[in-house]
A and B are shown apart, each in its own frame.
Chain A
Amino acid sequence: MNIFTISGSPHIHGDENVRKIMYTVVYALVPAILVSLYFFGLDAVRVLLISVLACLFFEWIIQKYLIKGPITINDGSAVVAGLLLAFNIPSNIPAYIIIIGALVTIGVGKMSFGGLGKNIFNPALVGRVFMLISFPVQMTSWPVPKPLFGSDIMADAITGPTALGILKEGIGAGKTIDQIMADPNMPDYIDRLTGNMGGSLGEMSAIALLLGGIYMIIRKVIDWQVPFTIIATVFIVAGIFHLIDPQHYIDPMFHLFTGGLMLGAIYMATDMVSSPMNMTGKLIYSVGIGLITIVIRLWGAYPEGISFAILIMNAFVPLLNNSFKPKRFGVAVVKK
């Protein structure tokens, strides 16, 4: 007598799974990891390792002793959170701050909502913003990159402001754009493109980040519309103000390749869990992120605003999911 399995259709599966998606993000981060190793050397290894291990540890301990449910630390989501957290902080930050950040990332950002898939906000950004507010000094003293094979292997602990920081300070002091750009600390175009400038670990090289982004688009892990719309919004708004007053507002290309815009637009805003679930919602969400980012950059107190922008728009996601629906088959769009 044969015993057959009974189940509803479909009886086959497309071979996609959560682990695969998460590791696709990890692979997409590899070029940027290599760039950070090149610029920051052992410091980068230290930050990446502490952040990833701490995230895995906190996820494990919360699942085992607080939730008492299945342990799912091997699904890759904690690794992604750890890597993204590391990417968002300076390479010379003390270990204890990273561990506190990881606890907030996993504990508050993710597990307090019920774990993977339930969180409203991007966990790595929750951790990052918590650290920025709690440890403002350590979070904004950026080490100057010292390329592995560079000629000027100087002593440790050389820190300087980021390109956006120089800009913000200069504008605040009433300087014109030309005067600011003449500042010796200001990285030139090539440096901005390759990432040879002060800043967080992973936001350095736009090229490396774009490379990973293209890989994720091909693997259908992210929609190209989201990063494209965010970047386009920043570019257009910055461009309009640049045209109005070029001596007070820097050219829009500067905004694209400095700060965390690329990292945020490609890796953080596209997080499946905390972004909208239909295209109309995604576009509104992306325009919102772009607008808030550039408003903070141009007029806010902080030099950089993408983390706040993404977190603010994350809060609108449930509303966007309810308000916008995909185009239904056979339902005509009612014209008003």
Chain B
Amino acid sequence: MGGVHPEENKFSENAAIEMLPLPKQVIVQLGQNLGAPSKPLVKRGDMVKVGQMIGKGESFISANLHSPASGKVLKVDDAPDASGYRRPAVYIDVDGDEWVDDVDLSPGIERAIKLSRQEIIEKIKECGIVGLGGATFPTHVKLMVPDGKKAEYLLINGVECEPYLTSDHRLMLEKGEEVLIGTQILMKALEVDKAIIGIENNKSDAINHLNTLAAGYEGISVQPLKVKYPQGGEKQLIKAVLNREVPSGKLPIEVGCVVSNVGTAFAVYEAVQKNKPLIERVVTITGKAVKKPSNFMVRIGTPISQLVEAAEGLPENTGKVINGGPMMGKALTNLDVPIVKGSSGILLMKKEESLRPTSKTCIRCSKCTVVCPMGLEPFLLSKLSKLAEYERAEKQKIMDCIECGSCQYTCPSHLPLLDYLRLGKLRVGQIIRTRK
């Protein structure tokens, strides 16, 4: 149900993944995952190696952090994150690329899975793997299926429905085998025997490539999907692949599913088979005016400015820089913000694209209701939120909103529907928490 079809603009889909040179300084945010921030393990003046743990995830929903570069810790101090808030981060002056000893840096593919189920989860936790689709939920927590629930399917999300972004697409093409082994590892951890990789039809090369490879892996199949935003949403993917609806307010495990991104599957492969912690990821740098739209393997903590330089510089008329895709990404205030685990792409928008048109009054066309993938009424929810009618908004299921932005994308009156929905969700969330 619902959904929109924005222009795809996948300019970088044919650009092979390149290694981005090491920056002079990395800024590693301590709160990169959903849940509690990691606790710093280093202090000013410490020498660190690549892969050395520098932040520990101590609470239940939390993840470890590892140094993405070798060098000297300059300071542990606040740094502005993608939202513009100042949050604690570890600054490291880079002076080389010296790795910790136990990481396997050989180029060969390690196929045999030697670890047991419990060891796999432990390894994933140790290596600080989080969901790389953007939500950054710690993967080891996802793998611990609560008592009384049973996972039946593992879904691997290769949908990449956001316009412009191509990092998952390239990963599936270039690291297909690693993604499949990672999928197998996750299957073992979850004790499921069926995994389905969902990919939209606009990536037929990736579908064919993974289909060929998947023949060698028992229980893994590839399912082509119609192109539709926001099909990469967890609940939407489950609906599209298995026609099951995750109940309102519940997790996918309720319908026997666990969903992971292809990027996460690759990171899991590297962690479990190569003992390599999550210190780098594929990031797309793109935009209509970008001279060389590309995909880079980027160390976490690299400032975005370096990525922009590698794409042959900031175009003259850049008006907006977005961390993520154009539908759900965050606008950045400056280019010094570092890459975090959840950064899938950097989109540079031209000045003329970056301003919103003046909004008019609602003409009650109900297009927002038609496109809402959650069956909500954005026109009503935004109005209730504007009027501070939070209890009514809660009854109208405002908390089910996945913030995909389809409503605002469609609105012929250019109303800031999602802005008000976000405000409403924030307030309703606070109200719900105080009730407990």
Contacts and interface: CB of A to CB of B under 8 A. Distances in A.
Contacts of B322: 9, 11
Indicate the member of A10, A21, A331 with the most B CB atoms within 10 Å.
Answer: A10
Nearest to A13: B409
A328 B398 CA distance: 11
Given A4-B321, A11-B326, A331-B397, A326 B361 contact: no
Contacts of A12: 6-7, 163, 326-327, 353, 409
Interface stretch (B103-111, B138-146, B411-419): B411-419
A4 B4 CA distance: 27
Indicate the member of A7, A17, A116, A332 with the most B CB atoms within 10 Å.
Answer: A7
A274 B405 CA distance: 26
Contacts of A11: 320, 322, 326-327, 329, 331, 347, 349, 353-354
B374 A8 contact: no
Interface stretch (B90-98, B191-199, B242-250, B269-277): B242-250
B364 A272 contact: yes
B418 A9 contact: yes
Nearest to B318: A2
Interface string A245-269: 0000000000000000000000000
A174 interface: no
Given A11-B322, A278-B377, A18 B328 contact: no
Contacts of B84: 6
A159 to B, nearest CB: 38
B333 A278 contact: no
B232 to A, nearest CB: 14
Contacts of B324: 9
B45 interface: no
Contacts of A272: 363-366
Contacts of B375: 326-329, 331
Contacts of B219: none
A42 B396 CA distance: 54
Interface string A2-33: 10111111111110111011000000000000
Contacts of A284: none
A330 B320 contact: no
B436 interface: no
Interface in B406-436: 406, 408-414, 416, 418-419, 422
A325 interface: yes
Contact of B414 (A8, A17, A326, A327): A17
A283 to B, nearest CB: 14
Contacts of B4: 14
B150 interface: no
Given A9-B329, A14-B410, A116 B374 contact: no
A296 interface: no
Given A8-B419, A12-B409, A326-B376, A332 B331 contact: no
A72 interface: yes
A12 B349 CA distance: 10
Given A2-B334, A17-B414, A277 B245 contact: no
A328 B349 CA distance: 34
Nearest to B372: A326
Indicate the member of B322, B354, B361 with the most A CB atoms within 10 Å.
Answer: B361
Interface of B: 1, 4, 6-7, 84, 163, 235, 239, 245-250, 314, 318-322, 324, 326-335, 347, 349, 353-357, 360-367, 369, 372-377, 379, 396-397, 400, 403, 405-406, 408-414, 416, 418-419, 422
8 contacts: A2-B314, A7-B356, A72-B360, A116-B363, A117-B361, A328-B375, A328-B397, A328-B400
Given A10-B408, A13-B414, A328-B397, 20 more contacts: A4-B318, A5-B355, A6-B331, A8-B422, A9-B327, A9-B330, A10-B327, A10-B405, A11-B354, A14-B409, A17-B413, A75-B360, A277-B364, A277-B377, A278-B369, A325-B377, A327-B1, A329-B248, A330-B374, A331-B248
